[in-house]
Structure 1
């Protein structure tokens, strides 16, 4: 079967049937904004902010005018916030992609017997990629669904599948002020129908055709081709400068280098191949000395996947503009690096889980007969023309990447005391519970609440991406204070009540976010629309409180998996934390990141505080349950005693006996 079925994917067709993202009521958003920030800023600053917000939202004011314009934009576009959000979150961001923007998935550890075993694994991975691509092209990927929030639980809500169409077809091109997303255009001819991947090996890039005469190459044929590439990469005389380093630099610096490269016809052809290829497969050299990947901790594997270990290891064996880079390390360190502007983490999870299952099943099958190598097109090395100016930029990119490597502080650890099943037994949402635990952990470390970001999918809507759940709620703060500063002032019953209130508040905001009623996208749309209309920067958007509201000291996300793998990413501000978590039945895996240059953060310290917070919360739940059981048991004893007394005393009425009989039974967890 051909690698690329030419009929279009069903993603966009399915998306057209979904509702549009709504524009929330103006005053609902403004009220919620004030509520979210009230406890995060000093009283005097908040009073000034409230006055500014009231002026913005007054009848007949600029807020109402922008709201009408936003509703008009909703009527004439598929998704009124998508472009605003995409540019603000990603394309305008000038930071380097590794660590700062591109999340990674770290696969289960592998143990390769030799070089051939390593390349065989990579060949099976490529075959799995092609299999997944075929599912996308033929519309075989089922439409995902989520529990019905738009239908009040009456039925499951279908989710927008547009993001899947971008995995193998898009590209992020650098720009001096703003990057550009490239998408294949219909009717552009055979040139746009890529049937090749790029293989990175020893910092060199090779074109590997994955289909011959419309027939997809199998595992054995791919292995032959990878062996060829591996041998070609060993040739030191033909080795070219490590051009992948340029893509690891800040986006403005990389755009400058891109402009220089594009002046040469050879470089233009190479960059065009990079843009049109299906994906990158990175064959990494062993990163660790001695025992190889088996000696590496999960934290070390995560960091190697995020930045490649710097220019001295595999940091140049990447091309960060590609949506998908599949990394296979000779030491068994394997994973996926994704360019985040194209799709969200759940897309990465589903694709990666398919690959791992495919590789596992493929390894059980008999080895297919080897096709004669002469029947396969010879892989070709992508050429570069490297001027002295580019050589200087490469040296600068290498230094910048090395600073990023030194700066990243990562702690990947598993909390083993309990998992999501214990939380469910408390009749609490595991996600909301973990978010409250993150608030408690940060407060233990810093003694204050901070703006917190939790990504929430809005794929229930056409072209939906994400909204922000603002987890630093007033209710969460009340709970963490009762567990820390105000411990002596409260009983367990009060603490438990505050925990339940915090869980309810978190759950309520989650529902608002996933149904298109969060505040962040709405405020962003109002701000960007005002700029489009040529209005001076409005007071509400230059107010210190608004600027603070977008400094997410805690950037969090739940990325659950069904296999032994994990997702991680870096912090989004210099003095912040990235906290990705993967709740399982009996444990929770956390990936906590921060920057070493900040004196305010330590990933290890935060992780310890998080473990203690989870234990404290479980202890509270257990003590409260035990107290309730004791109270109920005492009531039951009293009931039996009273009933016996009543039976012995004719003076007690039948109604009294019936009332005692209705006493609640003893309940366990």
Structure 2
């Protein structure tokens, strides 16, 4: 793979030379000249930088098992049987449709299964056999993301926020920006040097701590390594998405965007007040600059006294993709090719915001969309840090899913807090930074006008967005497990009951489930609106006085049991959404008419997800979220902690969101009363 080439030879240096540290040794070996090395040693001798920045400080860790050791032997994502997908589809439609609508949809589904669907399924199987190196969903799913013409901000890009550093003095913007940046580059080095721990799900957590077990797995040939882990109930996950984590960018094109990567680029992109700055953060052989050099570069940027750019180009990444593609061509034709390339190829984008976060809602707005001018939403990810040290990630979604990004967040948070590269009141200010380049752009009247229009449209849209956090403290994961039920099922059921209370019916619901257990897996949908949740919602809302606490508990248990079954099916690639999507994509790609099955209003409705949900389970994360996928829906990012649960909900309808939050709290209170054996009033 291309991303393993280039600066991958960074680890071969035999030992650290005395006195000057790896930076000086790197400069000399890379041909930077004895003068540069002498200058660096001199700064170390005078205490301007530490001379202990050795090879071990260039990586987050050193894995016994090579990073991609299991990739070759990962099982392939199965193509479900068409009959099974239709059966699952009809089961998901049951709580959403009336009897007559259901019979009509059932008739169309049977005709599809026995007619054109059967032919499409056969063709899909044939294609899948030819493309044994990937999964049947990878290409179509990526193509759908890149073909969408909607703005990616608010519609696609999610965000994840870090918890604050436990030592409050380290939450200074400059200190935290340096520490998080250094840890991010250490993650990059570990990944490209193949010493990043592979993603493995351990049924028995003790295996994750056993060096002997890991050493055994590392000795297995890559062609069978997955099976060795499998027999010990350790399940390696696909890591193919990591290739696009760094040095990558989504590039707007007419009709369909492209993913661009240049893994040989060594520079960091920094945004401040809508201005762009770059500096090399890796030396010519791939070693990280000394942290106090990096900090000095950031000081240089923070001390730039320019106000917000008159025409901030970041607004263009909030535009309709065809509009942005046309303006980008104008940018290139106006002589900005080099500057645009430096943005696209940068390792990642560091956004230094010039304001403080006021509360949790403000934090979510900041990380989800900000004020537009200090973001480049097309980058694979942006690391955002405010004046008060609040930090988070906003990432472009086409290249990958939450598994890869959450792993990155976990590693970077742990490394930056346990092994901070710089300390408050360090010595960076005594260094003179001269290597920061401020990117300059030639903007004609047409481009300036496009930026102004993009800003107006973005400001109008972001002001419509409401984001509100929610916490429930009466119980959490431990309590629900003690009650012998699924914590995820309980939260999903609470959302269903809340929606039924608000809308008077069950509404289409999407819960994301990773299929990373398979080669090039992406996601599958858990359809958490079921006949069981409908029956339970009706009992709690419409007929609550007719049921005892014991009867209501049995209804909740039935929902939990069925939800766990749906989770298992989805994780094993046995949902129906991706399969039916792939069949439709195949028909459209061949130029065939869209089958009547897909033109059924019921099919359109089940994919109009009023509740779009996704969970983040991490001790490093404070908040996460994403925009609603339909104008009158809710985007629900939630986390279930040991002793409480919380979520972050987005909506374009503030009054409806307030009502939903009250109903959600009421549903969870009702569940708690039932768990306690108390009848509902």
- Give the alignment's TM-score, normalised by structure 2: 0.82
- What do residues 160-213 of structure 1 show as CA deviations (whole Å, max 9, x unaligned)? 1112222103221112322212244xxxxxxx5011110001110011110234
**Following TM superposition, by how much is the alpha carbon of 1:563 offset from its aligned partner in structure 2, in angstroms?**
2.8
- What do residues 483-536 of structure 1 show as CA deviations (whole Å, max 9, x unaligned)? 111223333333222211111111111111110110000001111111223221
Q: Is the 8 A contact 1:177 1:252 kept in 2?
A: yes
Larger CA deviation: 217-226 vs 615-624: 615-624
**Following TM superposition, by how much is the alpha carbon of 1:145 offset from its aligned partner in structure 2, in angstroms?**
2.3
SS in 2 for 1:285: coil
Distance 1:521 1:564, change over 3 A: closer
SS in 2 for 1:471: coil
CA RMSD across the alignment: 2.9
Distance 1:589 1:87, change over 3 A: same
Q: Is the 8 A contact 1:21 1:516 kept in 2?
A: yes
Q: 2:277: which partner in 1?
A: 206
Q: 2:207: which partner in 1?
A: none
1:43-192 aligned at under 5 Å gives the runs 43-58=99-114, 61-77=115-131, 78-88=134-144, 90-109=145-164, 117-146=172-201, 155-184=233-262, 192=263
Looking at structure 2, the residues matched to 199 and 158 of structure 1 have their Cα atoms a distance apart, in angstroms, of: 35
Q: Is the 8 A contact 1:450 1:553 kept in 2?
A: yes
* Pick aligned residue for 1:5 from 1, 4, 8: 8
**Following TM superposition, by how much is the alpha carbon of 1:363 offset from its aligned partner in structure 2, in angstroms?**
4.4
SS in 1 for 2:583: helix
* Pick aligned residue for 1:241 from 311, 315, 318: 311
**Following TM superposition, by how much is the alpha carbon of 1:624 offset from its aligned partner in structure 2, in angstroms?**
7.2
Q: Does 1:252 align with 2:306?
A: no
Q: Does 1:301 align with 2:363?
A: yes
**Following TM superposition, by how much is the alpha carbon of 1:153 offset from its aligned partner in structure 2, in angstroms?**
9.1
Looking at structure 1, the residues matched to 77 and 83 of structure 2 have their Cα atoms a distance apart, in angstroms, of: 18
Distance 1:113 1:576, change over 3 A: closer
Larger CA deviation: 344-353 vs 133-142: 344-353
Distance 1:258 1:565, change over 3 A: same
SS in 2 for 1:590: strand
Q: Does 1:224 align with 2:296?
A: yes
Distance 1:462 1:111, change over 3 A: closer
Q: Is the 8 A contact 1:419 1:584 kept in 2?
A: yes
Looking at structure 2, the residues matched to 133 and 22 of structure 1 have their Cα atoms a distance apart, in angstroms, of: 31
Distance 1:92 1:29, change over 3 A: same
SS in 2 for 1:197: strand
Unaligned runs of 5+ in 2: 12-64, 205-225
Looking at structure 2, the residues matched to 527 and 121 of structure 1 have their Cα atoms a distance apart, in angstroms, of: 47
Looking at structure 2, the residues matched to 82 and 454 of structure 1 have their Cα atoms a distance apart, in angstroms, of: 19
Provide the aligned length of Structure 1 versus Structure 2. Answer: 596
Q: Is the 8 A contact 2:182 2:421 kept in 1?
A: no
Looking at structure 2, the residues matched to 564 and 388 of structure 1 have their Cα atoms a distance apart, in angstroms, of: 43
Q: 2:348: which partner in 1?
A: 279
> Rg: which structure is higher?
1
Larger CA deviation: 472-481 vs 148-157: 148-157
Distance 1:306 1:143, change over 3 A: same
**Following TM superposition, by how much is the alpha carbon of 1:345 offset from its aligned partner in structure 2, in angstroms?**
1.8
Q: Does 1:196 align with 2:302?
A: no
Q: 1:657: which partner in 2?
A: none
Q: Is the 8 A contact 2:161 2:621 kept in 1?
A: no
Q: Does 1:454 align with 2:511?
A: yes
Q: Is the 8 A contact 2:137 2:522 kept in 1?
A: no
Distance 1:205 1:254, change over 3 A: same
- What do residues 381-415 of structure 1 show as CA deviations (whole Å, max 9, x unaligned)? 11211111111111111111111221111111221
* Pick aligned residue for 2:381 from 317, 324, 329: 324
Q: Does 1:353 align with 2:353?
A: no
Q: 1:639: which partner in 2?
A: none
Q: Is the 8 A contact 2:6 2:264 kept in 1?
A: no
**Following TM superposition, by how much is the alpha carbon of 1:448 offset from its aligned partner in structure 2, in angstroms?**
0.8
Unaligned runs of 5+ in 1: 185-191, 287-291, 627-669
Distance 1:581 1:216, change over 3 A: same
Q: 1:662: which partner in 2?
A: none
Looking at structure 1, the residues matched to 271 and 558 of structure 2 have their Cα atoms a distance apart, in angstroms, of: 52
**Following TM superposition, by how much is the alpha carbon of 1:45 offset from its aligned partner in structure 2, in angstroms?**
2.1
SS in 2 for 1:343: coil
Larger CA deviation: 103-112 vs 560-569: 103-112
Looking at structure 1, the residues matched to 586 and 387 of structure 2 have their Cα atoms a distance apart, in angstroms, of: 50
**Following TM superposition, by how much is the alpha carbon of 1:355 offset from its aligned partner in structure 2, in angstroms?**
2.2
- What do residues 66-108 of structure 1 show as CA deviations (whole Å, max 9, x unaligned)? 11111111111111111112222x2122222222211111223
Distance 1:50 1:116, change over 3 A: closer
- What do residues 324-371 of structure 1 show as CA deviations (whole Å, max 9, x unaligned)? 111111133321111111222232222122222232234487787659
SS in 2 for 1:602: helix
1:255-274 aligned at under 5 Å gives the runs 255-265=325-335, 267-274=336-343
- What do residues 287-313 of structure 1 show as CA deviations (whole Å, max 9, x unaligned)? xxxxx43xx2211111111111x3xxx
Looking at structure 2, the residues matched to 487 and 420 of structure 1 have their Cα atoms a distance apart, in angstroms, of: 26
Q: 1:28: which partner in 2?
A: 84
Looking at structure 2, the residues matched to 101 and 583 of structure 1 have their Cα atoms a distance apart, in angstroms, of: 23
**Following TM superposition, by how much is the alpha carbon of 1:464 offset from its aligned partner in structure 2, in angstroms?**
0.7
1:251-650 aligned at under 5 Å gives the runs 251-265=321-335, 267-286=336-355, 292-293=356-357, 296-308=358-370, 310=371, 315-363=372-420, 373=431, 378-563=435-620, 565-596=622-653, 602-623=656-677
Looking at structure 1, the residues matched to 618 and 388 of structure 2 have their Cα atoms a distance apart, in angstroms, of: 24
Larger CA deviation: 581-590 vs 480-489: 480-489
Q: Is the 8 A contact 2:334 2:444 kept in 1?
A: no
Looking at structure 1, the residues matched to 583 and 498 of structure 2 have their Cα atoms a distance apart, in angstroms, of: 34
- What do residues 3-33 of structure 1 show as CA deviations (whole Å, max 9, x unaligned)? 9425999666632211111111111111111
Larger CA deviation: 118-127 vs 356-365: 356-365
**Following TM superposition, by how much is the alpha carbon of 1:34 offset from its aligned partner in structure 2, in angstroms?**
1.1
- What do residues 601-655 of structure 1 show as CA deviations (whole Å, max 9, x unaligned)? 62222122111111111211220799xxxxxxxxxxxxxxxxxxxxxxxxxxxxx
**Following TM superposition, by how much is the alpha carbon of 1:146 offset from its aligned partner in structure 2, in angstroms?**
2.7
Looking at structure 1, the residues matched to 160 and 378 of structure 2 have their Cα atoms a distance apart, in angstroms, of: 17
Q: Is the 8 A contact 2:611 2:633 kept in 1?
A: yes
SS in 1 for 2:672: helix
